[in-house]
Amino acid sequence: MFAQLLIALSFAIASYQDVKERAVSDLVWIPALVGAGYVVYSYYAHETTQSLEFLIVKIVLIGGIALAFAFFGGIGQADAIAIAFVAVDPYPLSPVPPLFASAFVALSHIGYEYAVGNARGGRTIPMQQFLREQRWIPKAIIADGVRTEVNRDVNVAREEVEAKKLQDASVEVSYGVPTVAYLGIGYVVYLVYLVLFNLPAFLSLP
């Protein structure tokens, strides 16, 4: 229970930052890290070896896959960290329930963005708009009629465009979804569900 509340605190702050800036401070994850340590210590102290082994397998498997995607530029570093902390959740059925809730939140928001036209494939926007709005993932810079592709790694693509300082150029972009916010809101929804419908289980968790 206490570990989940600490993880939820990190997710709440990270979700706000992700929605506002599409960037999450590393310091945000300190409460979640404390919560993760508490889960491991609790299982070890109570000699629940099977639960500890299962937890470690979850973290290594899910967190490892997420970090691999981040390493190859498929997702942001904060996205990978958030996925890893979802795997730390001590509820026996986790990470399925929080990920299911996160998927529902994501599909709902992406459906809305698609309906209003933001998530319908690529588009070209002025450089000034790109610099002002953090929600865009750059694909290429168009300057003086010349199209130059940028790094496909989402962790460095924006910095590459910003460093060029081509104020009169245009940027070919795609919509960048707030993945951390999806995971954070989904995690909070999942905790609320536990409290309302399975309170004894929630209270029994580390």
Q: Which residues contact 174 (CB under 8 A, 6 or more apart)?
A: 121, 122, 123, 136, 137, 139
144: left (phi over 0), alpha (psi -120 to 50) or beta: left
Whether 90 contacts 48, CB under 8 Å: no
pLDDT tier, 46 (very low <50, low <70, confident <90, very high otherwise): confident
For residue 102, the model assigns a pLDDT of 96
In the DSSP assignment, the letter for residue 173 is E
Return the closest-CA partner of residue 62 out of 34, 36, 41: 36
Residues 100-114: pLDDT tens digits? 999 999 999 999 988
Amino acid type, 154: V
Whether 36 contacts 88, CB under 8 Å: yes
Residues 79-95: pLDDT tens digits? 999 999 999 998 888 89
Least confident of 58-67, 96-105, 111-120, 149-158: 111-120
Give the tokens for residue 113: 């963005």
What is the CA angle 83-87-93, rounded to 5? 130
The domain ranges of the chain are 2-115+178-204, 123-175
pLDDT over 90 (residue 186): yes
